[in-house]
Amino acid sequence: MTDRPAILHDFDQALDFLLQRTGRRLVVAAPLGLGKPHGLLNALYHHVADHDDHALHLLTALSLTPPAPGQGIQARFLKPFLDRHFGADYPVLAHVPAQKRGQVPSNIRIEEFYMQSGALLGASDAQRHYNNLNYTHAARTVALHGPNALVQLVAREPGGQRLSMSCNPDLTFDALDELARLGKPRPTLIAVVHPDLPFMAGDAAVQSDFFDAVLDHPEPVPRLFALPRAPVSDAEFAIGLHASALVRDGGTLQIGIGALSDALSHALALRQTRNAAYRELMENLAPGLHESPLHCAWGGLGEFGVGLYGASEMITDGFKRLVEVEVIKRKVVDDLDLMLRVWRGEDDDADRSRIEREGQYLHAAFFLGSHDFYAWLRALPDHERARIGMTRVSHINQLYGGREALERFQRRDARFFNTCMMATALGAAVSDALDDGRVVSGVGGQYNFVAMAHALEEGRSILMLRSTYENAGALSSSVRWNYGHTTIPRHLRDIFVTEYGVADLRGRSDEECVIAMLAVTDARFIDALAAQAKAAGKLARDFTVPTEWRRNTPERIAESLRPFRRLGLLPDYPLGSDFTEIEQRLVRALTWLKARTGSRRRMLGLITQALRDGGRDDPEALTRMGLNRPAGLSERVQARLLRLALKHSASEG
């Protein structure tokens, strides 16, 4: 028996170490998202692919992969950006392109419970081996498969001996505990130390001998995977603003990732730092909101004096902003008696001193964000970083177990914000898959938080969605009468938010739910949806659509927000941008182009317009795209289209 941990020096040595312990049949668990050691997983994949007498079963989720640059004018923009953002030699997980090509070897099985959104819709191998799980059930399922290896990216304590699960303490501890409960052997654990991962103490920290082997990431060390921050549209800002008024000071916050979460985080920050302007903006968007019974009972428009406590399965750039502006600041400790004394105002100096020393204002199971977000975590003083508790998903996404009374009290006035793709008029939500069974992403923790909102006395689940979506040039309503797949059943309906307002469905009859959802539906689809509801007997035959709902149009939203856009209160990139100023102009132009070229006929029409119209002279943008001196017909057409898009996107912005 050798002393733990073995010190490894490269991925080949790590592979040999694993094979000596596991034999030829590898059942490997790896964290979701950022915590995967790509180099080691790729070494495993290629070894097994080259040896027919070996087998690999990988249990994981969210295999993060940079987007493909595409072709034509899109590639001219994306290729230089992707090389800069990820690094030209970023180690893409070998199994992902193989899944997309349908070329995963027969002796390799990749089983995931969450996919990168939309990336594997056409990948049969990934779709067939997808495992439909709540996040809190993933550790149990991993344990049932009996992994003989677990590999994880970790951080090293500066000047110390400890290691930290850092970005992913979510499932490792729970899976090991479940294996022990089932009487199954502990797998071989290999840690790969990434120098840029921030060391997170508390529950995430372990002694180095927790692992069987430790490998400092060999050179060259790739950049951490960072999600490019996308611009926020008018509709997304409107959704975030409506949602922000549902949050009560002194409460608890959970949010996800993406443009809607960025918009919500920005709105909450505005509410705190520019409250007068925030109130004016809200009145312009939703007149009379300050008198709304729903918002008066469950939310508010005021600043955050007590502040919020964050209990979220993931943290990202939005939480960074909310910590910086002191929206997230309500500290909790794992002592129910002390928390009760604070709530009653019976705490003394000793209690307050303990909360100041030990209190944490944010708990999460994993993190993922921008390069700026990772740099922020690394730069925090140790005592401030200690306010962020990275912990097991079982501590975040559920209430059950010995901590339930404590967690119920810590999570008072909880608001759980998640996004969905579609919603039905009767209150079901579609978030993870299509009605033909193909998986877009996964359930993740959404069901957990919706159910928790109903289990907490003052909790609310808020599902945010854009009212429309476009597919192959055709516009459709995201509020449907029915859909062949649901993620959240209608018996758990609560609050939905679109850019047109808030639909409160909790405790409402079916007809009341239909009416509430019609009120937040795009005007172009209200009549058809109402007719379907009447045909199903869920809406009175004499119901008429109020005139006010006819104003549920993108033009009205743009008009409401335009003055505040011009004042700089609603910037395209509210949480910062990974694009240069020139690239931001190009993003607007390319977005304008994409919206107008959904079909061959529309593309030909736009080319004709571009050939007649000189467009905007923007030498910097054309140079960045390599179109300042177009050669050949294709480049000349691309240059003309780009100049036209730069002209119109600048005037419309």
Percent of the chain with pLDDT over 70: 100
User: Are 374 and 247 found together in one domain?
Assistant: yes
User: Are 55 and 184 found together in one domain?
Assistant: yes
User: Residue 590 pLDDT > 90, yes or no?
Assistant: yes
The string of pLDDT tens digits covering residues 441-466 is 999 999 999 999 999 999 999 999 99
User: Are 246 and 167 found together in one domain?
Assistant: no
Residue 653: per-residue pLDDT: 61
User: Does any domain span residue 223?
Assistant: no
Nearest to 48 by CA among 102, 90, 106: 106
Residue 484: per-residue pLDDT: 96
Please report the beta strands in 316-464, taking only residues with DSSP state E, as ranges in sequence order.
Answer: 362-367, 388-390, 414-419, 422-424, 429-430, 460-464
User: Does any domain span residue 19?
Assistant: yes
Among 101-105, 142-146, 342-346, 492-496, which stretch is predicted with the lowest mean pLDDT?
342-346
User: Are 270 and 160 found together in one domain?
Assistant: no
The string of pLDDT tens digits covering residues 222-259 is 999 999 999 999 999 999 999 999 999 999 999 988 99
User: Are 343 and 492 found together in one domain?
Assistant: yes
The string of pLDDT tens digits covering residues 94-125 is 999 999 999 999 999 999 999 999 999 999 99
Residue 4: per-residue pLDDT: 80
User: Are 503 and 585 found together in one domain?
Assistant: no
User: Residue 381 pLDDT > 70, yes or no?
Assistant: yes
Residue 605: per-residue pLDDT: 87
Structure tokens at 527: 């009549």
Residue 2: per-residue pLDDT: 55
Question: Do 526 and 549 contact (CB within 8 A), yes or no?
Answer: yes
Q: How far is C-alpha 145 from the chain's CA centre?
A: 28
Domain stop point among 551, 571, 606 = 551
The string of pLDDT tens digits covering residues 285-320 is 999 998 999 999 999 999 999 999 999 999 999 999
**What is the average pLDDT value for the chain, to the nearest integer?**
95
Residue 201's CATH number = 3.40.1080.10
Residue 1: per-residue pLDDT: 41
The long-range contacts involving 549-556, CB below 8 angstroms and separated by at least 24 positions, are 549/518, 549/519, 549/521, 549/523, 550/523, 550/526, 551/523, 552/467, 552/500, 552/520, 552/521, 552/522, 552/523, 552/526, 553/522, 553/523, 553/524, 554/234, 554/235, 554/522
User: Are 211 and 247 found together in one domain?
Assistant: no
For the chain, give the number of residues. Answer: 653
Q: Quick one: pLDDT band at residue 652, thresholds 50, 70, 90?
A: confident
The string of pLDDT tens digits covering residues 1-37 is 457 899 999 999 999 999 999 999 999 999 999 999 9
Please give the residue range of the domain that contains residue 608: 581-652
Q: In 87-217, which ranges are continuous DSSP H helix?
A: 95-101, 124-129, 138-145, 172-181
Nearest to 136 by CA among 256, 313, 309, 369: 313
Residue 160: per-residue pLDDT: 86
The string of pLDDT tens digits covering residues 382-412 is 999 999 999 999 999 999 888 899 999 999 9
Q: Across residues 496-524, what is the average pLDDT?
A: 98
User: Does any domain span residue 222?
Assistant: no
User: Does any domain span residue 564?
Assistant: no
User: Are 596 and 529 found together in one domain?
Assistant: no
User: Are 487 and 587 found together in one domain?
Assistant: no
